[in-house]
Structure 1
Amino acid sequence: MATSNQMGANTRSKKKKKNLKKALLGCPQKRGVCMRLLTRSPKKPNSAQRRVAKVRLSTKRVIFAHIPGEGHNLSPFSVVLVRGGNVRDLPGVRYKTIRGVKDLAPVLSRTNGRSKYGTKRPKVHT
């Protein structure tokens, strides 16, 4: 058994947390320009065509960012705002675009979870 001196001298060092969103350089979001729009198919049990944009960030790094929601209005050279966030069934896609900001339009058909898709509250006529 270890003595009290040994316990104090050899304390365990904390494991450093790996930064998975390196392209954002510690910032919550970064602006980028779409270079190419493509669809990717997800990993094994799922089947779909996920919309992905190849984006050059303002830091000159090139990443793949997922475009959430149904439909989009992006084209090459559209300006988007990118945040961190994995798409679990798309390998290598670790970022998401933010709807309703810059050139990316909100999803207008949303009634629930509107804040994630940049949709305004619908007007209620009385």
Structure 2
Amino acid sequence: MNFLREKLSHLVSSKTYSMYRTVGIVDTGNYSAVKHAVAGSVNKDCSWIRGMASLYQMHRTGPHIKTRPPRQPLDGKPFAKGVVLKTLIKKPKKPNSANRKCVLVRLSTGKEMVAYIPGIGHNLQEHNIVLCRVGRCQDVPGVKIRCVRGKYDLSHVIK
């Protein structure tokens, strides 16, 4: 039993050893059960410790580069055709106050996005076809594309 206590004192701290002693694992005399219990506690306590990579491992794998999710609203394309689902009026963020004219568009890529209509006045209704380009409306959150005036069903600005 003293041999077992010496082994345990080397493997775990006195706090963990006293815990095993109170539970009764140490006094059973079954060394394999104690060994597995101690190994499990050591692994749990030291799970946050991770070995550093050697220079050869870093050379072999190359630099660690994070892959970030794509932030392109039209998947890298300059324009996309879309069908108007609904016309919306959005309010801008804090210091500005206005009614920004927008439309909910189902693009040819399958995405549904809110597009800003530039200029004064528009003739868009549901089921109209518009051409959208990448361009944010900076003071309206969630609006990342704009409609192109004078293409398909969206007419030019009337002067």
TM-score normalised according to structure 2 size: 0.57
Equivalent residue number for residue 139 of structure 2? 89
State the distance in 1 between where 2:68 and 2:104 align. 27
Percent identity of equivalent pairs: 42
Partner of residue 72 from structure 1, selected from 84, 104, 122 = 122
- The structure with the greater share of residues assigned to strand is 1
Name the structure, 1 or 2, with higher relative contact order (CA <8 Å, separation 6+): 1
Q: How many residues align?
A: 106
Unaligned runs of 5+ in 1: 1-10, 110-126
Q: How does 1:1-126 map to 2 (within 5 A)?
A: 19-22=70-73, 24-109=74-159
How far is 1:26 from its partner? Answer: 1.3
**Alpha carbons of structure 1 residues 86 and 19: separation in structure 2 relative to 1, 3 Å:** farther
State the distance in 2 between where 1:81 and 1:13 align. 40
State the distance in 1 between where 2:134 and 2:75 align. 11
How far is 1:25 from its partner? Answer: 1.8
TM-score normalised according to structure 1 size: 0.71
Contact 1:54 1:64 in 2 (8 A): yes
State the distance in 1 between where 2:137 and 2:154 align. 19
State the distance in 2 between where 1:16 and 1:86 align. 24
State the distance in 1 between where 2:117 and 2:64 align. 40
